[in-house]
């Protein structure tokens, strides 16, 4: 990503900007580690304390000292003096001196170990430390890496390495605790042993895994709704890209489609179908902070600034009972992202480094000059027009000798770099996690790419017995180079360019050639020159996080108050230099720059009560208040005429072209309540209600109430099921609830006015400044409400090593929000009509997930997980009763999709192609089709009136797949491991608008090699229309000609890793060293002719869901190969 920043070059002439930023990044990391190391070694024993004790027992005195000085004391209660009490009052005294005062006149002494543990023992007993070593395995003898090994009652310990081995320095007669997720905890007493090998037993009660839900957590066995979990380990196998890419195909009912293959580009994400006409993306909540993404028309990914390496787990709340706690913004589902936090006694340092290369491998087969010139000449001859000078001598022979492959010239290998560093740990009183990352991903097109710098800090502190405070803080800087969203894709122009036009002209200003009449009859821009010379980027600095305080008021009763938000500063920059590209000349350089900031404030107060009665009745009640407020401001300025193309600042422009600004905001205030009841781990019920008030609606409809209720029956815990060993788990779930959407502009209820508009009056045509309506408002606008019913079944076998999850849902959305077009005679721009509640729709479908973990077969183990889902979408009503057509501004296309009662959202709409007119007799025998002749497309006369007109259009395809699926395989043999991930969709149609543009037959654009088989008088049976300029037969009108089967199966990711032996790791002072190679987007099995069969929404805004599956030449997805190393200390 090339930047010309003169100030930087003056200050640092010999250091690249990237290197400097990377140096600063690692300087911060090393400084943090140094401070952390010094603090860990010296702070606890040197701290000075104030303490006031009056006749307290020794155990209590020790507890108070531990709390005040943040140290750990190890002792046996049997050795404490009986009948003696401690009285002591000192101020600002070293903690070790205080401990000596407490032990005065007793037969006890203390000793500080190297790890900071303070051991208290009898005076006459010989103190000694024991170094214990051992290996931890499972019941089958398989080694277990990452097992926590701690001294009981302390936070001091270690974890096992890749071979399951550990070494720990402990006091004699202490107890060691071994813990590992999915296994039973084991305690071992140490008495003069030096080798302690441990075998852990699998915990068949893995259903007690804790799952993060909104404003809390819950045991998986008590889950009553539909929640999918994706763990950090699964996400880590996707070594490039972002969070959403890592989720593709991994959860049933979650459909993620890229809208651009550009690094850092946006993705279209839907949970359980498209439930609205506008932004169908779910609500993202990161560590409790909702991320701003609704009500905008962004072409970038709002969570691209998060490094997947920072993620501990992701929960996807799919049904209304799970998502209702988020009420007004949960209509499209909720994605909860939990970042890494430290754990007591598990001090870890981890470094990840990877590098890779990306290439576009799937290219469109385009004509060469030798193929294009006869084709274009034929088009002009067939229309009776003169042959252009570029196709006759003396230019013809030169152009035949020149054949530019614009894809080959445009695409290049792109380098990927990813660096990540993290430390975490703590003790019983404080935990911490710090990480820093740098990602630089170049694009396969010039001047395109993405860079991310990130720092994450999470910590938690216990203050006394009742108070806990902490923070979550994410700092990031992201840079997007280039603006390659699909709706304005330069890829379209790249493909259309004639092969007779050369790319470069070294002597011209800028060094690029361009359209000239001797090259081509059409003055099309040199897209590669534009890519290279034009500078476009967006920079975003963001802070996301919160601080909290949690106080235990009474046993079981706690209150948590948090404050935080999302704060970002954006800068957009565009510079068009002077240049000469053939006959296309730009004499005046133009610069546009925008600055904006968004500040989202979040305040929440949650009170929770938990109580278990008689060991079988478990009750959790939650009530709370939350308020979120957002304000954003923006300014933009445009200038032109510069003394030099290198002076790229606003101040250097001689002429001001434009200046503007805006300010907007919104607020939402909510009250929430949730009640969970569980009886004997068999019967669970959850009720939720949330009341939201939004500033986006008028006073009559400002508040909405969103309730839900759900329940589950864990039948496998019934006594009559205990006799049947077949089921490890048998749970039935059911839920019903409502969620809402406020996805409209900030002041949708009001008509808005724009100033700075000139009116012309009088005979002198004087321009008088004034104002005009910008948007029309709707004071009666109300909430969009989605009501969902879900029934589910969870099955587990073989100690839950084999499990299945099944869900069936019906999801009804009412009062759909959409911005309707308005007649231009109103004086308002056509696209700026009012937001209205347009109608209702229904989604219903089935989801199935399966997981299998084998028993280890010697050194070999494996696991499989897969999912499949279906969804049926139907419009149940439209308030006007009239269909909604989506028309594109491509200049040649009428409506391509229709949304109408009884149909689905955005169904493809057009004429039905019957074939090609073979000859004049065929034309005469067919229904009247004005302008058509032999070789043109023959369209079906649907209404039988012998005339082809607008009434002969119908639904011609569906952008929705019949089903989507994913399959993940994990293999392990000794130190080798492999992950293979595939995902796909079956039964979706795509509208190939790229083919419509390229194969229009006019000869002005280059065409695909498919047009070599076009109709000619000597090839009358062809299924490809003739070449003719002017398109007299309207062969490119929306029709089934451009509908293609978009089904695909993609080998999305393969990763092969090797864990070095523990002996080699120890030479590097590491616990684990792993190297790996991986490939992403390796191969796609499909019949689709375009770059990629995954096509997201084409447009943005309140009607974006109406344009899914239309291929307008999006930035191609590359194939990426990476190699990396991971070291754990």
Identify the residue with better confidence: 484 or 963. 963
**pLDDT for 785:** 92
- Is 253 a residue whose pLDDT tops 90? no
**pLDDT for 127:** 56
Superfamily covering domain 129-203: Carboxypeptidase-like, regulatory domain (2.60.40.1120)
Over the stretch 486-496, which tens digit does the pLDDT of each residue have? 445 678 889 99
The span from the CA of 507 to the CA of 527, in Å, is 18
| Contact of 304 with 903, CB cutoff 8 Å | no
**pLDDT for 300:** 57
- Nearest of 425, 490, 486 to residue 460 by alpha carbon: 425
pTM of the predicted structure, to 2 decimals: 0.82
Residues counted in the chain = 1129
The span from the CA of 28 to the CA of 834, in Å, is 51
| DSSP sequence for 983-1010 | EEEES-EEEEHHHHHHTSS-SSS--BGG
Say if residue 769 is exposed, middle or buried (CB neighbours under 10 Å; 0-12, 13-18, 19+): exposed
Fold of 213-344: Ferric Hydroxamate Uptake Protein; Chain A, domain 1 (2.170.130)
List, in sequence order, every residue forming a beta bridge with 660; answer none if it has no partner: 636
The span from the CA of 261 to the CA of 646, in Å, is 30
Helix, strand or coil, per DSSP, at residue 245: helix
- Is 181 a residue whose pLDDT tops 80? no
Percent of the chain with pLDDT over 70: 89
Contacts of 963 (CB under 8 A, 6+ apart): 868, 869, 870, 985, 986, 987
- Is 319 a residue whose pLDDT tops 50? yes
| Contact of 979 with 1055, CB cutoff 8 Å | yes
Going by the DSSP 8-state scheme, the letter that residue 102 receives in this structure is: H
The three-state DSSP-derived secondary structure of 403-439 is CCCHHHHHCCCEEEEEEEEEEEEECCCEEEEEEEEEE
**pLDDT for 824:** 65
Among the ranges 126-130, 536-540, 885-889, which has the highest mean pLDDT value? 536-540
Torsion of CA 768, 771, 772, 777, to 10 degrees: -170
The span from the CA of 1099 to the CA of 1105, in Å, is 8
Given its phi and psi angles, is residue 191 left (phi above 0), alpha (psi -120 to 50 degrees) or beta? beta
Among the ranges 60-74, 91-105, 682-696, which has the highest mean pLDDT value? 682-696
The span from the CA of 648 to the CA of 986, in Å, is 49
The three-state DSSP-derived secondary structure of 269-295 is EEECCCCCCCCCCCEEEECCEECCCCC
- Nearest of 784, 833, 844, 841 to residue 810 by alpha carbon: 844
The average pLDDT across 245-256 equals 85
The three-state DSSP-derived secondary structure of 751-785 is CEEEEEEEEEECCCCEEEEEEEEEECCCCCCCCEE
**pLDDT for 17:** 46
Residue with tokens 């799919």: 318
For 881-975, where are the E strands, in sequence order?
Answer: 884-887, 895-899, 907-910, 913-916, 937-939, 954-957, 963-973
Helix, strand or coil, per DSSP, at residue 1122: strand
- The helix (run of H) or strand (run of E) holding residue 552 is strand 535-554
**pLDDT for 235:** 78
The average pLDDT across 492-502 equals 92
| Contact of 306 with 242, CB cutoff 8 Å | yes
Identify the residue with better confidence: 456 or 887. 456
**pLDDT for 20:** 43
The average pLDDT across 681-710 equals 91
Tokens of residue 214, six digits:
């909104």
The pLDDT confidence band at residue 577, using thresholds 50, 70 and 90, is: very high
**pLDDT for 240:** 63
Over the stretch 1009-1018, which tens digit does the pLDDT of each residue have? 999 999 999 9
Helix, strand or coil, per DSSP, at residue 174: coil
| Contact of 452 with 474, CB cutoff 8 Å | no
**pLDDT for 239:** 61
CA angle 805, 807, 812 (to 5 degrees): 155
Identify the residue with better confidence: 278 or 1099. 278
Helix, strand or coil, per DSSP, at residue 524: coil
**pLDDT for 1103:** 61
The pLDDT confidence band at residue 35, using thresholds 50, 70 and 90, is: very low
Sign, CA torsion 719/720/726/728: negative
Helix, strand or coil, per DSSP, at residue 463: strand
| Contact of 340 with 286, CB cutoff 8 Å | no
The span from the CA of 620 to the CA of 1036, in Å, is 62
**pLDDT for 15:** 41
- Is 96 a residue whose pLDDT tops 80? yes
Residue 394, preceding peptide bond in cis (omega within 30° of 0) = yes
**pLDDT for 250:** 86
**pLDDT for 298:** 43
What are the residue ranges of helices labelled H in 1029-1086?
1062-1067
| Contact of 936 with 1025, CB cutoff 8 Å | yes
The span from the CA of 1078 to the CA of 246, in Å, is 14
- Average per-residue pLDDT in the chain? 85
Identify the residue with better confidence: 159 or 1100. 159
- Nearest of 562, 547, 544 to residue 460 by alpha carbon: 547
The span from the CA of 866 to the CA of 968, in Å, is 6
Contacts of 392 (CB under 8 A, 6+ apart): none
- Nearest of 1114, 1079, 906, 873 to residue 982 by alpha carbon: 1079
Lowest mean pLDDT among 582-586, 604-608, 774-778, 989-993: 774-778
Give the domain ranges of the chain: 6-43, 47-122, 129-203, 213-344
Identify the residue with better confidence: 206 or 803. 803
Q: Cα 709 from chain centroid?
A: 29
Q: Cα 846 from chain centroid?
A: 24
The average pLDDT across 69-74 equals 76
The span from the CA of 95 to the CA of 62, in Å, is 11
Separation in Å, CA 833 to CA 95, 165, 752, 820, 1025: 71, 68, 11, 5, 40
Q: What is the CA radius of gyration of the chain?
A: 34
Would you say domain 47-122 falls under CATH 3.55.50.30? yes
Over the stretch 722-748, which tens digit does the pLDDT of each residue have? 777 788 889 999 999 999 888 888 887
Percent of the chain with pLDDT over 90: 46
The span from the CA of 368 to the CA of 63, in Å, is 83
Helix, strand or coil, per DSSP, at residue 789: strand
The pLDDT confidence band at residue 218, using thresholds 50, 70 and 90, is: confident
The pLDDT confidence band at residue 580, using thresholds 50, 70 and 90, is: very high
Say if residue 734 is exposed, middle or buried (CB neighbours under 10 Å; 0-12, 13-18, 19+): middle
Lowest mean pLDDT among 183-192, 498-507, 541-550, 979-988: 183-192
The pLDDT confidence band at residue 33, using thresholds 50, 70 and 90, is: very low
Lowest mean pLDDT among 144-158, 506-520, 546-560, 897-911: 144-158
For 614-647, where are the E strands, in sequence order?
Answer: 617-640
The span from the CA of 990 to the CA of 493, in Å, is 21
1081, HSE (Cβ side, Cα atoms, 13 Å): 22
Identify the residue with better confidence: 524 or 500. 500
The pLDDT confidence band at residue 1, using thresholds 50, 70 and 90, is: very low
Identify the residue with better confidence: 1039 or 78. 1039
The span from the CA of 484 to the CA of 259, in Å, is 10
The span from the CA of 630 to the CA of 565, in Å, is 9
- The helix (run of H) or strand (run of E) holding residue 756 is strand 752-761
The pLDDT confidence band at residue 37, using thresholds 50, 70 and 90, is: very low
- Is 4 a residue whose pLDDT tops 60? no
Residue with tokens 């300014």: 635
């Amino acid at each position: 990503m090339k930047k010309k920043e003169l100030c930087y070059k003056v200050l640092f002439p010999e250091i690249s900007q990237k290197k400097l930023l990377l140096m600063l990044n690692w300087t911060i990391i090393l400084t943090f580690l140094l401070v952390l190391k010094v603090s860990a070694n010296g702070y606890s024993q040197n701290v000075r304390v104030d303490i006031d004790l009056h006749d307290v027992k020794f155990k209590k005195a020790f507890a108070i000292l531990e709390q005040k000085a943040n140290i750990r004391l190890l002792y046996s209660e049997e050795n404490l003096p009986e009948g003696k009490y401690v009285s002591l009052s000192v101020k600002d005294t070293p903690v070790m001196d205080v401990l000596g005062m407490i032990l005065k006149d007793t037969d006890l002494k203390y000793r500080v170990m190297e790890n900071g543990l303070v051991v208290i023992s009898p005076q006459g007993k010989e103190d000694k430390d024991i170094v214990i070593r051992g290996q931890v395995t499972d019941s089958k003898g398989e080694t277990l890496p990452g097992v926590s090994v701690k001294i009981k009652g302390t936070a001091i310990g270690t974890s096992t390495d890749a071979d399951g081995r550990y070494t720990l320095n402990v006091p004699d007669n202490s107890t060691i605790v071994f813990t590992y997720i999915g296994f039973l905890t084991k305690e071992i007493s140490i008495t003069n042993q030096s080798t302690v090998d441990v075998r852990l037993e699998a915990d068949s009660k893995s259903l007690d895994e804790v799952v993060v839900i909104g404003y809390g957590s819950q045991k998986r066995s008590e889950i009553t709704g539909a929640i999918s979990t994706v763990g950090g380990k699964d996400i880590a196998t996707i070594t490039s890209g972002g969070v959403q890419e890592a989720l593709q195909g991994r959860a049933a009912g979650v459909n993620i489609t890229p809208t651009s293959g550009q690094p850092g580009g946006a993705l279209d994400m839907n949970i359980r179908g498209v439930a609205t006409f506008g932004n169908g993306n779910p609500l993202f909540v990161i560590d409790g902070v909702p991320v701003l993404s609704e009500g905008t028309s962004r072409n970038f990914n709002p969570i691209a600034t998060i490094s997947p390496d920072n993620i501990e787990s992701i929960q996807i709340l799919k049904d209304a009972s799970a998502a209702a706690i988020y009420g007004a913004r949960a209509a499209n589902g909720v994605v909860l992202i939990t970042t890494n936090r430290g754990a007591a006694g598990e001090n870890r340092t981890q470094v990840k480094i990877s590098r890779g290369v990306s290439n576009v491998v799937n290219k469109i087969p385009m004509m060469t000059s030798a193929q294009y010139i006869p084709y274009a000449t034929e088009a002009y001859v067939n229309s009776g027009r003169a042959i252009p000078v570029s196709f006759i001598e003396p230019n013809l022979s030169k152009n035949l000798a020149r054949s530019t492959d614009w894809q080959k010239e445009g695409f290049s290998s792109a380098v990927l770099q990813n660096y990540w560093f993290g430390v975490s740990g703590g003790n019983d009183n404080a935990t911490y996690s710090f990480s820093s990352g740098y990602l630089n991903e170049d694009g396969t097109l010039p001047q395109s790419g993405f860079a991310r710098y990130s720092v994450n800090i999470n910590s938690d502190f216990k203050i006394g017995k009742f108070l806990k405070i902490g923070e979550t803080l994410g700092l990031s800087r992201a840079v997007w180079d280039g603006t390659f969203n699909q709706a304005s894709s330069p890829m379209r122009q790249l493909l259309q360019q004639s092969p007779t036009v050369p790319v470069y002209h070294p002597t011209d200003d800028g060094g690029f050639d361009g359209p000239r009449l001797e090259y081509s009859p059409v003055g099309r821009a040199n897209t590669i020159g534009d890519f290279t010379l034009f500078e476009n980027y967006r920079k975003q600095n963001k802070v996301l996080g919160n601080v909290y305080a949690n106080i235990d008021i009474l046993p079981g009763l706690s209150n948590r108050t948090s404050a935080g938000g999302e704060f970002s500063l954006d800068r957009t920059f565009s510079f068009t230099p002077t240049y000469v590209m053939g006959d296309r000349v730009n004499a005046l350089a133009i610069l546009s720059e925008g600055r904006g900031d968004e500040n989202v404030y979040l305040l929440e107060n949650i009170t929770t009560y938990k109580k278990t009665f008689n060991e079988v009745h478990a009750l959790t009640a939650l009530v709370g208040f939350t308020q979120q407020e957002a304000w954003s401001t923006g300014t933009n300025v445009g200038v032109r005429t510069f003394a030099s193309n290198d002076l790229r600042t606003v101040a250097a422009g001689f002429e001001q072209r434009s200046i503007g600004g805006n300010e907007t905001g919104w607020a939402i205030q909510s009250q929430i309540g949730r009640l969970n009841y569980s009886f004997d781990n068999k019967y669970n019920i959850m009720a939720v209600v949330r009341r939201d008030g939004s500033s986006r609606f008028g006073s009559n409809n400002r508040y909405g109430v969103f309730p839900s209720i759900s329940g589950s029956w864990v039948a496998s815990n019934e006594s009559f099921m205990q006799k049947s060993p077949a089921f490890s788990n048998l749970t039935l779930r059911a839920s019903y609830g409502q969620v809402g959407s406020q996805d409209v502009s900030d002041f949708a209820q009001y008509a808005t006015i724009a100033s700075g508009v000139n009116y012309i009056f009088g005979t002198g045509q004087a321009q008088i400044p004034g104002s005009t309506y910008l948007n029309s408002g709707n004071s009666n606008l109300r909430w969009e409400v989605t009501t969902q019913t879900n029934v589910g079944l969870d099955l587990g076998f073989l100690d839950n090593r084999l499990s299945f999850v099944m869900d069936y849902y019906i999801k009804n959305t009412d009062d759909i929000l959409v911005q309707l077009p308005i007649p231009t005679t109103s004086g308002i721009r056509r696209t700026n009509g009012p937001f209205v509640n347009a109608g209702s729709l229904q989604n219903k479908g089935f989801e199935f997930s399966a997981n299998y973990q084998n028993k280890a077969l010697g050194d070999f183990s494996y696991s499989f997980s897969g999912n499949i889902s279906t969804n049926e979408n139907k419009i149940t009503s439209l308030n006007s009763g009239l269909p909604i057509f989506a028309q594109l501004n491509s200049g040649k296309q009428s409506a391509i999709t229709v949304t109408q009662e009884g149909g689905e959202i955005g169904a493809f709409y057009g004429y039905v192609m019957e074939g090609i007119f073979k000859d004049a007799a065929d034309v005469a025998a067919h229904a009247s089709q004005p302008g058509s002749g032999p070789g043109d497309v023959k369209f079906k006369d649907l209404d039988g009136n012998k005339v082809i007109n607008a009434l002969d259009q119908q639904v011609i395809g569906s952008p929705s797949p019949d089903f989507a699926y994913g399959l993940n395989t994990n293999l392990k043999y000794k130190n080798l491991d492999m992950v293979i991930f595939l995902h796909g969709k079956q039964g979706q149609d795509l509208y190939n608008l790229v083919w419509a543009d390229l194969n229009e037959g006019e000869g002005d654009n280059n065409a695909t090699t498919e047009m070599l088989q076009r109709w000619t008088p000597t090839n009358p049976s062809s299924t490809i229309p003739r070449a003719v300029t002017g398109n007299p037969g309207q062969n490119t009108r929306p029709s089934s000609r451009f509908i293609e089967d978009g089904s695909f199966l993609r080998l999305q990711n393969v990763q092969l890793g090797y864990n070095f032996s523990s002996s080699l790791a120890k030479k590097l002072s590491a616990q684990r060293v792993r190297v790996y190679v991986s490939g992403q987007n390796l191969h796609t099995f499909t019949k689709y002719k375009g770059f990629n069969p995954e096509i997201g929404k084409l447009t943005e805004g309140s009607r974006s869901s109406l344009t899914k599956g239309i291929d307008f030449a999006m930035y191609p997805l590359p194939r990426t190969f990476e190699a990396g190393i991971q070291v754990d200390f």
